[in-house]
Amino acid sequence: MMDTTVGLTGYGLYVPEDSVTGAEIARESGIPEDVVVEKMGVREKHVCLLDGDHATDMCVNAAERALDRAGIEASELDAVLYHGSEFKDFVVWSAAANVAERIGAEGAFASESYALCAGAPIAIRQAKSMLVADHVERILLVSASREEDLVDYGNEESSFMFNFGSGACAMVLEASPEDPLATVRDSAAVTDGSFSEDVVMPAGGSRNPPSEATVRAGLHTLDVPDPDGMKERLADVSLDNFLSVADTALTRSGYERDELDFVALTHMKRSFHDYLCSTLDAENYYLDEFGHIQSVDQILALDAGLENGLLEAGDVVCFLAAGTGYTWAATVLDWHGGGNSTYSFG
């Protein structure tokens, strides 16, 4: 089993049709449009206005596309792993089990993994470990987010979340496949728990259970209790941690930084995105027409990069992400799939 390689054999994306523009966000929030569009990097983002766009609905749509691209049936899956938002159809509930049932993955077990916006590299790492060391051969990873619902545009202190959009992705990983889109190499991650309470929804958990009073007080949207303090502390560590996990994942994969060809990066403010990518000296795609869709960003950026001719067979790709908590994570892949987008958006 130690000689097992793990390949990405298919992926799928789902992005809702409804959207809001940076201009609309500016009007609602009172923030100048040029700040929303240029600094925050949101020309447009897709949002869930339809009742049929819950987390599992979007995951099922993306999963069907991924399975089709991989050329397998859901019944051939050994596991379904959900690594998306905890804000889903119901609370204290398994979205993974629901998706497995709806796509017909009758022989698969279902589980969930939470690393917030750092979820994709970590979920791939977990799935690879199972494929190498456990009795599984095919795993479906699914992720979705509609955390845009939790954003209060009247709360300027949470403005760094105004880029939150909606959508889903799915990936099929297989043990020693014959013709994968990519081979999964190694990963790295680091967490700084001093940020664990910097982004919270004040009510709804066991500390402050939901009640008529919490609803009236507007405590069921995301908030940043100390935005200036968070920004100051994050500025001191974020770049170093991004570079550290990227370099460690590359080294573990047998590469140096100058061999990296494409980085699929979490959506963030434009200036930091540009600086980080220039430091890594790699091709990239900025998701300013989608915003930030939690752990969907990496597959979204990969597909957009393909659509725009930024990847080709033989490229070294790094899925690079960070999520509040605060965790930074990276996973390296060898891309074999050529330069054509697998699916269009929508």
The 10s digit of each residue's pLDDT in 319-340 is 999 999 999 999 999 999 865 5
pLDDT level of residue 1 (50, 70, 90 thresholds): very low
Q: Do domains 6-179 and 183-335 have the same CATH topology?
A: yes
The answer to whether residue 42 scores a pLDDT higher than 90 is yes
147-179 confidence digits (pLDDT tens) = 999 999 998 888 889 999 999 999 999 999 999
Average pLDDT over residues 246-262: 98
pLDDT level of residue 2 (50, 70, 90 thresholds): low
The answer to whether residue 186 scores a pLDDT higher than 70 is yes
61-82 confidence digits (pLDDT tens) = 999 999 999 999 999 999 999 9
Q: Are 162 and 40 in contact (CB under 8 A)?
A: yes
Q: Are 60 and 100 in contact (CB under 8 A)?
A: no
Domain ranges for the chain = 6-179, 183-335
Q: Which CATH number fits the domain 183-335, given the four candidates 3.40.50.2300, 3.60.110.10, 3.40.47.10, 1.10.3720.10? A: 3.40.47.10
Average pLDDT, the chain: 94
pLDDT at 157: 84
239-248 confidence digits (pLDDT tens) = 999 999 999 9
Q: Which two tokens stand for residue 38?
A: 């240029």
The CATH superfamily assigned to 6-179 is: Thiolase/Chalcone synthase (3.40.47.10)
Average pLDDT over residues 248-275: 97
pLDDT at 343: 46
Q: Would you list the DSSP string of 63-98?
A: HHHHHHHHT--GGG-SEEEE-S-S-SSSSS--HHHH
% of the chain surpassing 90 pLDDT: 90
User: Which residues share a beta bridge with 20?
Assistant: 45
